[in-house]
Amino acid sequence: MNSGDPILAEDKLLAFAQCLTFQDYSQWLGGERNLLLARRYTESRRTPAAQAAVNSYSESLAVLALLTDDDPDTVAVLPVLARLFDASPRLQLRILSDSLDLAPLETLWPELDVAAALEEWDLPQFLIFDDDWELQAQWGPRPRQAEEQLSAWLQRYPEYEALADDESPAAQAQFADLTVKLTQEMRAWYNSTLSAACQQEVCELLATLLPAEESADTEVARGG
């Protein structure tokens, strides 16, 4: 396709369909990562408010999760939102790893400078498109409530971010050990309070995408 050619809705639908479902993504990862994502999905529980919100959601949305496979935020957040979106036939989630061909993202969002976005964004990012394939919202990489706990963890392990850029074998081994530690701690955080915070934040965002009258009804139902 030439850069000047219009991208048709059918092209975007096919691009979205090329991306992986949560189950397919987990199987593609294989091994321990597959098992960990499966456990996280099982551990995640929809809150009653989030269940009601997605069950009654009236708009059709396509959500593309752009992520890094071994990032602790992927393990923490992706299963929570996969389980949430599974409760609604109108909310379709697909996953695109930054280790794969990013052509589907270029088709879905042709105006985006993908290389620059990957430099700027903290993954995972959830890109929300309407049924005309217009980008309506973007969310990620984690709920606001997680920032304080993550900042405290980074203060305990200030070397973590520097190790990520150090390609020496010793540094990469230390970085891998700390990544496992952070993943385990994040799992505990989300199983206590952050899963509910994540669901609430995303449901609030989805409510803003509804027609004004429905969005107001959603606020009343939440007690807002």
Q: At 44, which CATH number?
A: 3.40.30.10
pLDDT at 9: 83
In the chain, what percentage of residues exceed pLDDT 70?
A: 92
Phi, psi of 12 (to 5 degrees): -70, -40
The residue segments making up the domain with residue 88 are 9-142+194-222
pLDDT at 221: 46
Q: Is residue 157 part of a domain?
A: no
Indicate the number of domains in the chain.
Answer: 1
CA–CA separation, 224 vs 222, rounded Å? Answer: 5
Which residues lie closer than 8 Å to 121 by C-beta, 6 or more apart?
A: 66, 140, 141
- Concatenate the DSSP letters of all residues of 123-167 into one string: S-EEEEE-TT--EEEEE-SS-TTHHHHHHHHHHH-TTHHHHHT--
Record the tokens describing residue 204, joined without a space. 């609030």
- Would you say residue 163 has pLDDT above 50? yes
Q: Is residue 165 part of a domain?
A: no
Q: Is residue 160 part of a domain?
A: no
Confidence of residue 3 (pLDDT cuts 50, 70, 90): very low
Query: Across the chain, where does the E strand assignment appear?
Result: 61-67, 91-97, 125-129, 135-139
Residues 21-57 have pLDDT tens digits of 999 999 999 999 999 999 999 999 999 999 999 999 9
Query: Once rounded to an integer, what is the mean pLDDT over residues 148-163?
Result: 94
3-state secondary structure of 4: coil
Q: Is residue 171 part of a domain?
A: no
pLDDT at 6: 65
- Would you say residue 119 has pLDDT above 80? yes
Q: Is residue 180 part of a domain?
A: no
What's the pTM?
Answer: 0.90
- Would you say residue 215 has pLDDT above 90? no
Q: Is residue 117 part of a domain?
A: yes
- Would you say residue 125 has pLDDT above 90? yes
How many helices and strands in the chain, by DSSP H and E? 12, 4
CA distance to 9, 25, 144, per residue, from 129 (Å): 12, 20, 22
Amino acid identity, position 9: A
What is the pLDDT of the chain when averaged over all its residues?
92
Q: Is residue 2 part of a domain?
A: no
3-state secondary structure of 22: helix
Residues 170-212 have pLDDT tens digits of 999 999 999 999 999 999 999 989 999 999 999 999 999 998 7
Confidence of residue 7 (pLDDT cuts 50, 70, 90): confident
Query: Once rounded to an integer, what is the mean pLDDT over residues 74-85?
Result: 97
Confidence of residue 220 (pLDDT cuts 50, 70, 90): very low
pLDDT at 69: 95
Q: Is residue 131 part of a domain?
A: yes
